[in-house]
Structure 1
């Protein structure tokens, strides 16, 4: 959604499906964060990275199946199919210089690092908000007295 270079294709149904699913993922993610249904601990991020690694492995497997047996059209799940050039910023500069295994590891650890950065920024904002919350309550109590 933020870098739609390869997101949109000629088939309108795929475009709609892509935007609905990615938009839904963003809505669910922010809803979980704001509703505090997810704990703000590093353990949560570790569990999420395990799920992400499983999904990346599935993408690698499906890309390999496509490249081996189907090989018709374009199938580039998560933009990590070694048959196609990645258009993800930074990664498209790295891909020509490394093999597929190293590229997939860079992809995984890069996105996990970005998730850690976003997680830390989010927890910092929450910490600041929670720290200011008691001060606001004290000020309200003083103004009522």
Structure 2
């Protein structure tokens, strides 16, 4: 076990190849993982082999209202969330917005994490003993 053992992680894009590999590494390090993916069948399959240290939530990160409800869907035993890994590839194959400006502005409310302009969720604490440690 590592000193991060017992941390809770929210992982989007959990049911794909990279998500499965990340899930495996997180579980091997003793973390609990909230698996988030839009593919219900793949998500349930992953959850069925991963054991009690995971909690699956079907969600499409391109649905801002669903993202806004995500914190309420996380069960108490997986809170507080220590780490968010935004692995979902919701823009794969889609258009990439062009901008003539090199600067970007953020309308993210302090204390939240933006989901690509499609919603936000409360951010994990940015201070404390685990905030600067690598995963």
TM-score by length of 1: 0.25
Q: Say which structure, 1 or 2, has more relative contact order (CA 8 Å, 6+ apart).
A: 2
TM-score by length of 2: 0.27
* Largest Rg, 1 or 2: 1
Structure (1 or 2) with the greater strand fraction: 2
Structure (1 or 2) with the greater helix fraction: 1
